[in-house]
Amino acid sequence: MESRPGTGFRPFAGQRIAVVGLGRAGLPAAARLLEWGAEVTCWDDGAPARAAAEAAGFALSDPAQGRMTADALLLSPGIPHTLPRPHPAAEAARAAGVPILCDVEFLFRAVRAAGSRAAFLGITGTNGKSTTTALLHHILTGAGRISEVGGNLGPAALGLNMLGSEGFYTLEMSSYSLERIATVGFKVGVMLNLSPDHLDRHGSMAGYAAAKMNIFARQGREDFCVLGQDDDLSTAMAAGLAGKMIPISGFRPVPGGIWAEGRSLRDEAGEIADLGAAPALPGAHNAQNAAAAAATALALGLTRADVARGLHSFAGLPHRQEQVGQIGGLRFVNDSKATNAESAARALASYDRVVWIAGGTGKEGGIESLAPYFPRIARAILIGRDGPAFAATLAHHGVPHEVAGTLEEAVPAAAAAARATGAEVVLLSPAAASWDQFTGFDARGDRFRALVQAMASAERGKAA
């Protein structure tokens, strides 16, 4: 059950904490730390955020100016503390020997200070961590367990309820946050997969892998390490793990672990669940996500029936292979969260024949790595800044395509192309960031959904 420490609960009394970065997580963190007795100062490089903090009654102070007086710096995950260039507040903290921490670290310290042994479950990986985190939370709560879900997925860790010793904190952990934990030990650490990403922040693949490896830091023999076996970089992390390792795979048997054979999720005792009855989990990548959630749930004492029920009833997450409409048998799938080629590959692998909407602000390497999936593309409709660059790659490989420029042009063009080619799916899986045309991948996906729904409404009007 939820734990409610008394009004005298002040685990950070006497501690001076500087909070830098006052976005989605920053201000709630500052409020919670103040409630828990800390002396809190706030800062943001943006004047509107500073004004909002001041209006809310917080003291403003730039920790990079003058002598560093804080005992700890809570730095927003998106603000670098080393590469590519450290923020001035981080430089000041490092020079003064002040620890730079994330909000999960403060939550962990508060929970333990309250006497609760609530289990912290950490999920990371280059791709799939949001789905796996939400899926595990769904399985836990469906089985009657008490789980608070958040972290990188949202809500922010310091906005979560305090839980008693029977509770679970189910947390999506980015590499940015994992760099900034100091005492957190996860009862179950999940590492799904690893491929190049955020290299400007971590300096190299070795630096990125080291940050991810922190998901297993401070574990003991009674803890669990759920480790993906579908890429060599993740598999290599098995060396030196202190906890009990549970290997997982989305497409091949792994001795002693959990894996998918086709659409059958299995372990050495037999089938756990039929993934064919889990419509929100298509493809081998989601089979790996399901294996990870199942491995964690079973390690925590849930039954195979609990796991199967949770997998089958999971509704999925917005913008992650979310079916947003169907018009005359043609399905429209919103995978706007696919902001790199690796993520788009997972979506393209899930369907036999698609009209593909892609483009935006491309990542290094573009879409060349997707060439093995090009035979699945009946036609590509390209949008955004790097649509022309994507078009050049597709032309080189002989893939039919056109540059539409915007989603408003792309959606009807994709529907027409699907009807002309017999494709049954229009897939928005951009393989690119959205900043050139939208405020984020979620806004891009929301716009796609709205355009599809408007088209469906117009079709119904014609039929009436």
Beta strands 330-334 and 354-359: pairing type?
unpaired
Taking Cα atoms as reference points, which of 206, 179, 170, 209 lies closest to residue 193? 209
Burial class (CB in 10 A: 0-12, 13-18, 19+), 62: middle
Beta strands 401-405 and 377-383: pairing type?
parallel
Burial class (CB in 10 A: 0-12, 13-18, 19+), 369: middle
Q: How far apart are CA 302 and CA 136, in angstroms?
A: 11
At 2 the pLDDT is 61
For the chain, residues with pLDDT lower than 70 are 1-4, 6-7
CA distances (Å), 272 to each of 77, 143, 266, 275, in order?
Answer: 37, 15, 5, 9
Count CB-CB contacts under 10 A for residue 60. Answer: 13
**The two three-digit tokens of residue 305, written as one number:** 């029936």
At 342 the pLDDT is 87
- For the CA atoms of 408, 411, 414, 415, the dihedral, rounded to the nearest 10 degrees, stands at -130
This prediction has a pTM of: 0.88
Determine contact, residues 53/30, Cβ cutoff 8 Å: yes
At 364 the pLDDT is 87
Contacts of 415 (CB under 8 A, 6+ apart): 327, 330, 355, 426, 455
Instruction: Label residue 53 left, alpha or beta by phi (over 0 means left) and psi (-120 to 50 means alpha).
Output: alpha
Q: How far apart are CA 94 and CA 87, in angstroms?
A: 11
At 15 the pLDDT is 98
